[in-house]
């Protein structure tokens, strides 16, 4: 059962990694033969780079690789929703766009709730919710339907 799940997750990673990075490849490999005692190594090759372990990647590359891995695990047994907390924080604008488009694409099957301070991620969301504090100790929730707001701004 472990090997079967491992292979499915690795296959999902091989599919999602190039979509998140806009190219490249990644896979998982077991570090030993004993399934009860083996470790797992993640090998990744972002576009234009050499194949390496995840430890040698930049912070943003590690974050995108982790996103691809988490999404590949999530696809095995998806829940009705997925909550992500500032996953896009270490990413540059190009990679935030890739991440946000992946979430948008996957949101056809799963509802995503994500916390972000990034404008690009916010622009690709359907709904925005914010918490403001007009007076000390009193929080207020603000909700915006992005499509409605865009239509209102255009008119």
Indicate the helix (H) or strand (E) that contains 4. Answer: helix 2-21
Boundaries of every domain in the chain: 2-124
Q: Name the CATH topology of 2-124.
A: Rossmann fold (3.40.50)
| CA separation, residue 97 to residues 1, 28, 46 (Å) | 36, 25, 16
Residue 37 in this model has a pLDDT that exceeds 90: no
pTM as predicted: 0.81
Q: For residues 104 and 112, what is the distance between their CA atoms, to the nearest angstrom? A: 9
Q: For residues 138 and 22, what is the distance between their CA atoms, to the nearest angstrom? A: 44
pLDDT of amino acid 34: 87
Alpha-helical (H) ranges within 32-111 are 59-76, 93-106
What band does 28 get if pLDDT is binned at 50, 70 and 90?
very high
Q: Which two tokens stand for residue 54?
A: 């995840």
């Amino acid at each position: 059962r472990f090997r079967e799940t491992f292979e499915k997750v690795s296959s999902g990673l091989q599919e999602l990694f190039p979509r998140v990075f806009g190219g490249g490849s990644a896979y998982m490999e077991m570090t030993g033969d004993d399934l009860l005692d083996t470790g797992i190594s993640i090998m990744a090759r972002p576009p234009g780079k050499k194949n390496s372990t995840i430890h040698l990647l930049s912070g943003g590359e590690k974050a995108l690789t982790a996103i691809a891995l988490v999404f590949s695990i999530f696809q095995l047994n998806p829940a009705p929703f997925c909550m992500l907390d500032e996953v896009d924080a270490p990413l540059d604008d190009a990679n935030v766009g890739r991440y946000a488009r992946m979430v948008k694409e996957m949101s056809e099957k799963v509802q995503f709730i994500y916390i972000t301070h990034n404008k690009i991620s916010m622009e690709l969301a359907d709904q925005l919710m914010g918490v403001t504090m007009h007076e000390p100790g009193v929080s207020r929730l603000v909700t915006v339907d992005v499509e409605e707001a865009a239509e209102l701004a255009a008119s």
